[in-house]
Amino acid sequence: MTNWLEIDKYAKEWIKEAGARIIKSFSSELIIQTKSNKNDLVTQIDKGTEEFLINKINKVFPSHRILGEEGLSEELEDLKGIVWIIDPIDGTMNFVHMQRDFAISIGIYEDGVGKIGLIYDVVADELYHVRKGNGVFMNDIRLLPLKDTAVDEAIIGLNATWVTKNKRIDPTILEPLVKESRGTRSFGSACLELAYIAAGRMDAYLTLRLSPWDYAAGKIMVEELGGKVTTLRNEPLDLLTQQSFFASKPGLHDEILQKYLKEGNW
């Protein structure tokens, strides 16, 4: 029988250790490379953090599988067994330019079902964590279940750059949502935006393309608190591919899908 308490204990220790390593790196010169485009950055700290976590997992849980952003883990074609989905630094552009507003994200799944989620805001020293069925916490503070919120009272996570640069999308489709919401925000770190929904700091987050390691942990948190997480087509997410992404409080999720997102070619 899987000992989830033990796995949770180790995961928390390792994510804190990884965070401390990142803080120590602030005085080092960064080696910055690009991946898919000039704004898709990766540093030696991203790669070093992923390698650190993979080594820890392999040593203590050799039967577990790993899916990581930086390509240091195996390529997975399914989610059978226990799978750790890791983003060593979500918000690398923030890390490079500001040394804040980035996080380490770890989602642990069993046969495709989220069991443990950890999002560590390294600079703020805020560890958001969930063990399925046992609530969501920010450090030692238990977070409250999510309540329905209307669009005109909602803060929506939406990155205008994604919308205006995507040639498939007519940016005017989202104008009514932007105008009628209380406000929009973009923090440059998907996992932090999901943690903020869990903490009640934001009400929804949507984006045109997101990878599993960006949301694996946050998805578990939002759903644990009663929120909904789907694609922009209201379809289940595939944790092995990039897709559109939409997470929000329960009633708000339905309102936005039905009133604002029906016309989009998502």
Residue with tokens 């923090």: 187
Burial 103-127 (b: 16+ CB within 10 A, else e): bbbbbbbbeeebbbbbbbbbbeebb
85 annotated binding-site participant: no
69 has binding-site annotation: yes
Compute CA 262 distance to the chain's CA centroid, rounded to the nearest angstrom: 25
Residues 186, 206: contact at Cβ < 8 Å? Answer: no
| Short-list 263, 261, 265, CA closest to 246 | 261
- Rounded Cα distance between 101 and 258, Å, is 32
Q: Are 106 and 52 in contact (CB under 8 A)?
A: no
Q: Which two tokens stand for residue 5?
A: 């308490």
List of residues 6+ apart from 238 with CB closer than 8 A: none
Among 71, 66, 77, smallest CA distance to 35 is for 71
Is position 89 annotated in a ligand binding site? yes
90 is in an annotated binding site: yes
- Report the candidate in 105, 144, 97, 108 with the shortest Cα–Cα distance to residue 126: 105
- Is 256 among the annotated ligand-binding positions? no
Enumerate the β-bridge partners of residue 33: 42
CB–CB of 246/257 below 8 Å?
Answer: yes
Provide the annotated binding site for Mg(2+): 69, 87, 89-90, 214
Provide the annotated binding site: 69, 87, 89-90, 214
